[in-house]
Amino acid sequence: MQYLNKFEAYKDVRSSAVTLGKFDGLHLGHQKLIEKMGEYQSKEVAGIVCAFDMGKASLLTDAQRRKRLEGKVDYLIACEFTKEIREMEAERFIEEILIKRLKAAHIVVGCDFCFGHGKRGNVELLKRYESEGGYRLDVIEKEQYQGRVISSTYIREELAKGNVGLAGELLGYPYMAEGVVEHGRRLGRRLGFPTMNLLWEENKIVPRFGVYACETLIDGAWRPGICNVGIKPTVTEEKKLLTETHVFDYEGDFYGKEISVRFCEFERPEMKFSSVEELKAQVERDILYGRNYFGVKKGTKRWR
């Protein structure tokens, strides 16, 4: 897959199948558009996902979006929603971008897709240009979950409540934190439960602060444990946003390793305790909760 950050960088001479949208989470609704576009992708037809970056916190970082699309499409054009694009007339966008630049033979959009100055562009306008532009338009109905349209707003709402299980169902994959384990104060190790600290990724939506049952990908295996998302108010005033993860029965050296943490179930909100002893007692209860959630007894090496 080739990654481009502006339309002008696209130089492929083939005709294309294009799907357009924000694609900020690649949730089940987004996947539906990409799958339809993929039906037209071939050696003769380039498959393009055009994602408009609206400049606010997202459900996926740019790198994570690229990783999820790798091998599925030919091009990801992650286009900043600049003043020029925002104020471009809808007809000009169709003529100059979709027809001339991308050579679109197939265009796949959701039923509420809007574009162009004042959001004048819509599926009706795309349909009117279909014959003149020489492309086929596919308008895809919204994916729903229990009667509600799946959207990034819906997923953000559930993450804010700590409903990571439902958020994962709407996304079609577990919500995760990723990064390199950094050195902390080693307080967890001194208290008997070593933790891996990840800085929260910039411009990525944060779930509700608190403790979660989680699985951590380290050394090529997913291992059960618990994690806290938040600022550790009991032991620091830094207010550094972290995912702090304890993996059950893991004895290796984890500093400097790249790990992924997928959130499974919310246990409790983050709290400020009156003493480190009180914190330790609660973490012991959290660990018991996590072991019960995964059915893992102390000393059991169960991972995959």
How far is CA 134 from each of CA 16, 80, 89, 115, 291, rounded to the nearest angstrom? 12, 27, 20, 20, 59
Instruction: Give phi and psi for 301, each to the nearest 5.
Output: -95, 85
Task: Tell me: do 210 and 271 sit in the same domain.
Answer: yes
Q: Which two tokens stand for residue 27?
A: 């949730």
CA 109 to chain centre: 20
Q: How many domains does the chain have?
A: 2
List, in sequence order, the alpha helices (H) in 122-267: 123-128, 130-133, 152-161, 164-171, 187-191
Condensed to tens digits (0 to 9), the pLDDT of residues 118-134 reads 999 999 999 999 999 99
How far is CA 7 from each of CA 79, 104, 236, rounded to the nearest angstrom? 7, 13, 46
Compute the C-alpha angle 155/161/225, nearest 5°: 95
Under DSSP, the state recorded for 63 is H
pLDDT of residue 216: 97
* pLDDT band at 239; cut points 50, 70, 90: confident
Percent of the chain with pLDDT over 70: 95
Task: Tell me: do 13 and 102 sit in the same domain.
Answer: yes
Contact criterion met (CB below 8 Å) for 59 and 25? yes
Average pLDDT over residues 148-165: 97
Task: Tell me: do 104 and 229 sit in the same domain.
Answer: no
Contact criterion met (CB below 8 Å) for 303 and 224? yes
Closest-CA residue to 175 (of 184, 164, 186): 164
pLDDT of residue 283: 92
Contact criterion met (CB below 8 Å) for 49 and 34? yes
Condensed to tens digits (0 to 9), the pLDDT of residues 243-297 reads 999 999 988 888 899 999 999 999 999 998 888 889 899 999 999 999 999 998 7
- Collapsing DSSP to helix, strand or coil, 138 comes out as strand
Q: What range defines the domain where residue 180 resides?
A: 174-294
Q: Is the pLDDT of residue 27 over 60?
A: yes
Closest-CA residue to 56 (of 24, 33, 16, 30): 24
Condensed to tens digits (0 to 9), the pLDDT of residues 168-186 reads 999 999 999 999 998 876 6
Is residue 299 one of the residues assigned to a domain? no
* pLDDT band at 304; cut points 50, 70, 90: very low
Task: Tell me: do 189 and 124 sit in the same domain.
Answer: no
pLDDT of residue 234: 66
Task: Tell me: do 198 and 107 sit in the same domain.
Answer: no
- Give the CATH number of the domain where residue 219 resides: 2.40.30.30
